[in-house]
Structure 1
Amino acid sequence: MGAGGRHVVVVDLGYGDAGKGTVVDWLCATRPVHTVVRFNGGAQAAHNVVLRDGRHHTFAQFGAGTFRPGVRTHLSRHVVVDPLALAAEADHLAEVGVPDALDRLTVDGEALLGTPYHRAANRARELARGADRHGSCGLGVGEAVAYGLTHPDEAPRVADCRNPVLLRQRLTALRDRLTAELGPLDAPPVADCLPAFTAFADRVAIVDRSYLAGALRAGTCVFEGAQGVLLDEWHGFHPYTTWSTTTFANAETLLAEAGLAGQAERLGVLRTVTTRHGPGPLVTEDPTLPLADPHNPTNPWQGRFRFGHFDAVAHRYALAVAGGVDGLALTHLDLADRGLDLRICQRYDTLDELTPGPPGDLDRQAAVTARLLAARPVYDAGPPVDWPDAVTAALGVPVVLTSHSPTAEGKVEWARTLSTPLV
């Protein structure tokens, strides 16, 4: 993977939390990577990286290769950039021995700006849903995207941070519109926000979209996706989805704009167990599994972190939605090493396969959601003897990397071939 200067795109083929961060860190530890490119989502991402010496950081906006000296981060225009959260993340990175994270960061000026007003509106809407909450992270990323779609010419963007007068106008209009819709927001006055945003513009390199083409030609880049394909805004199980395209599409667009269409390897990441943080379908959920995730505790917005057996039906759907991958990274093999009774679900009691529909048909996706909430898993007879072989057979795609611990040293790269074509 990534040999000969080839770029790599890393995407989660589940509901998120499969281990994209640790895979990206391993790529940056074992290859000369120039830049990690973030191509969707925003501050709600939570990509955990643990080093051999015990240092740990949950990467949200910085690329998960930032522990590796010299590896840069580029936030593309498809990312919602939250300068306040970014500053807090940079502070923690400095505490764990990375004082130059901001020096290695570039941000596309066209990216939408995440603000306290988006965050407050997001939380107000989620609270109003009561028992029908969608499991939002409560950080306002979807709110920023929605506002950008409704008011594309007035939505605050990163480049506006260099123009305090324009930024004040746009933040005021944003605050006033959301207040008129939702009532008073739990957010500071615009005058209190402006200094932080202008300080961000003074500290960080804000670039235009042509910058990325140079980075792609300067060395190998790793495109780091956020969340998971099963949460995709168009193909996920509505309404328990994200306001973000979680497939390879944004990364492929960025590559094509640089004249490098198709010049990247596509790596899908999966756990040996299928997990979900918050409400929504998880057909294979098994509350009896003796599992916990120290980096994904229950929180007031998403709720609890849920575990299920490996859902090959859902992951085959994710592969079809994403347009296939060149290989799989299979994480959490240490769970199988513990001898747990972990199974693979090859079909449900009511259907064998999920078929992707046209993007944007949310009524169709809501109907799929209802069907999944009523479905029951049908499992293979027993735990796999060889997990990489079993997953390769179930999905028709080779496992090329296995992870047996949170650190880069716990990864094993495989050379595998298939007699059947890749998905």
Structure 2
Amino acid sequence: MPALVLLGAQWGDEGKGKATDLLGGSVDYVVRYQGGNNAGHTVVVGDQKYALHLLPSGILSPGCTPVIGNGVVVDPSVLLSELSGLNERGVDTSKLLISGNAHVITPYNVTVDKVTERFLGKRKIGTTGRGIGPTYADKINRVGIRVQDLYDESILTQKVEAALDVKNQILTKLYNRRAIAVGQVVEELLGYAEQIRPYVADTVLILNQALDENKVVLFEGGQGTLLDIDHGTYPFVTSSNPTAGGACTGSGVGPTKISRVIGILKAYTTRVGSGPFPTELFDEDGEALRRIGGERGVTTGRDRRCGWFDAVIARYATRVNGLTDFFLTKLDVLTGWEQIPVCVAYEIDGKRVEELPYSQTDFHHAKPVYEYLPGWQENISKAKTFSDLPKNAQAYVKALEEMSGAPISAIGVGPGRDETIEINSFL
């Protein structure tokens, strides 16, 4: 009954796509359990680079069944475009499964997202403008559209009418926008129905049956721990639960069936969007990390904010997710520094704090307390075993492991599928 959860242990963009892809050849199902096309994964296979936004990374692994779970919000146009792009490149996408209970991102959700962010001005959250938050809000308000609704025109029309009753009032009277026609939305959504019908299934039943048959199921989170709606740096968070608990609610698989929880941890720290970031760098080091690490959002195209490794955040991720292992990525990016600062604690109002403060105000005022570890100059991209790494690189990994509270079982030393050192098997 091997069910594994793989998630981001920072603010997202840690390299989850590569980690999932590496495991993809050894697992039977890869499940996205939350988020939407606001989460981007880059996977490098040989000399080919794939940018995935909505689809599970397992779609690139022959023999693996990729699943979009009930906790995901789906933009049908993005889904079909992404499938078409992969098909054109010779990737077989026919095994994809989509939960009929997943919610649909409608055109009005996208409109509301964009106009709201513009209206907020300096107080904006920094959303991707793709309708994710408004779709989750509709879900909680019980006016959401689910994938299964596309196959009952009467129900679909009633639900769109109910949603637009309020939204059109807001759009016209608050934002001075044109009202959205019910018929236009219904027609557009119905146009996707037959195209995605072959993929729609009762994924809760299928996944539980697979686990009963001793199949290996990997649950892939989007974004990261510090962007979780409940456990992240609220309000600068996403609209769902990327943490390990979200894998259960977003897939319909119970927690007793999960055997390992793997946190993806970048060897430094990045963040996209607004919100506090204690180790953020505004100097040449920050620019170097951005340039060498190729730190540009896969989905947003925005430059990522860069900073040194934050062990306080890593410990927090270990705690709230129950992490059993870490996959450390992009260690190669740190090659060339004489010494590498690591944030081991915060200073808040003159006091040393070693755990993430629960208060938004305290976290906003947190100043990093650094320890400095010796760097290395050698190219590590060809390293195949831990002993192949320079002594200082080995010491850096061991220090991060001790500070973070869970063993580091794999290390990324380059972007390629084969540029990984496996210390302990995840399976």
- Cα offset, 1:67, TM superposition: 1.3
Please state whether the residue corresponding to 2:221 is helix, strand or coil.
Answer: strand
Contact 1:51 1:408 in 2 (8 A): yes
Q: Is 1:110 equivalent to 2:130 in the alignment?
A: no
Aligned to 2:347: 349
Correspondence 1:192-341 to 2 at 5 A: 192-207=187-202, 209-218=204-213, 219-253=215-249, 258=253, 261-288=256-283, 289=285, 290-292=288-290, 293-294=293-294, 296-297=296-297, 304-322=303-321, 324-339=322-337, 341=339
Q: Is 1:375 equivalent to 2:366 in the alignment?
A: yes
Contact 1:229 1:318 in 2 (8 A): yes
- Cα offset, 1:200, TM superposition: 3.5
* AA matched with 1:382: L
* AA matched with 1:165: S
Return the match for 2:410 from 386, 390, 401.
401
Aligned to 2:63: 70
Contact 2:97 2:203 in 1 (8 A): no
- CA–CA separation in structure 2 for the residues paired with 1:280 and 1:388: 28
CA RMSD in angstroms comes to: 2.4
| Alpha-carbon spacing, 1:397–1:298, altered in 2? closer, same or farther (3 Å) | closer
- Cα offset, 1:205, TM superposition: 2.7
Contact 2:100 2:200 in 1 (8 A): no
Please state whether the residue corresponding to 2:231 is helix, strand or coil.
Answer: coil
- Cα offset, 1:131, TM superposition: 1.3
* AA matched with 1:113: V
- CA–CA separation in structure 1 for the residues paired with 2:85 and 2:202: 25
1:256-278 CA distance string (max 9 Å, x none): x6567143211011101110011
- Cα offset, 1:408, TM superposition: 1.6
- CA–CA separation in structure 1 for the residues paired with 2:298 and 2:217: 34
| Alpha-carbon spacing, 1:254–1:381, altered in 2? closer, same or farther (3 Å) | closer
Q: Is 1:414 equivalent to 2:423 in the alignment?
A: yes
| Number of residue equivalences | 392
Q: TM-score, normalised by structure 2?
A: 0.85
The percent identity for this pair of structures is 30
- CA–CA separation in structure 2 for the residues paired with 1:204 and 1:39: 16
Return the match for 1:86 from 63, 79, 82.
79
5+ residue gaps, structure 1:
358-367, 417-423
Larger CA deviation: 381-390 vs 275-284:
381-390
Contact 1:172 1:190 in 2 (8 A): no
Q: Is 1:6 equivalent to 2:5 in the alignment?
A: no
Aligned to 1:172: 161
Aligned to 1:387: 396
| Alpha-carbon spacing, 1:353–1:295, altered in 2? closer, same or farther (3 Å) | closer
Aligned to 2:42: 48
Aligned to 1:20: 16
1:41-88 CA distance string (max 9 Å, x none): 111110110111x21222222111211112111111111122111011
- Cα offset, 1:243, TM superposition: 0.9
Please state whether the residue corresponding to 2:6 is helix, strand or coil.
Answer: strand
Moved over 6 A (4+): none
- Cα offset, 1:321, TM superposition: 2.1
- CA–CA separation in structure 2 for the residues paired with 1:370 and 1:303: 27
Contact 2:168 2:180 in 1 (8 A): no
5+ residue gaps, structure 2:
376-391
Contact 1:136 1:302 in 2 (8 A): no
Contact 1:36 1:224 in 2 (8 A): yes
- CA–CA separation in structure 2 for the residues paired with 1:282 and 1:230: 10
| Alpha-carbon spacing, 1:355–1:379, altered in 2? closer, same or farther (3 Å) | closer
1:300-333 CA distance string (max 9 Å, x none): x7954100000111221222222x2111000001
| Alpha-carbon spacing, 1:298–1:248, altered in 2? closer, same or farther (3 Å) | closer
| Alpha-carbon spacing, 1:295–1:349, altered in 2? closer, same or farther (3 Å) | closer
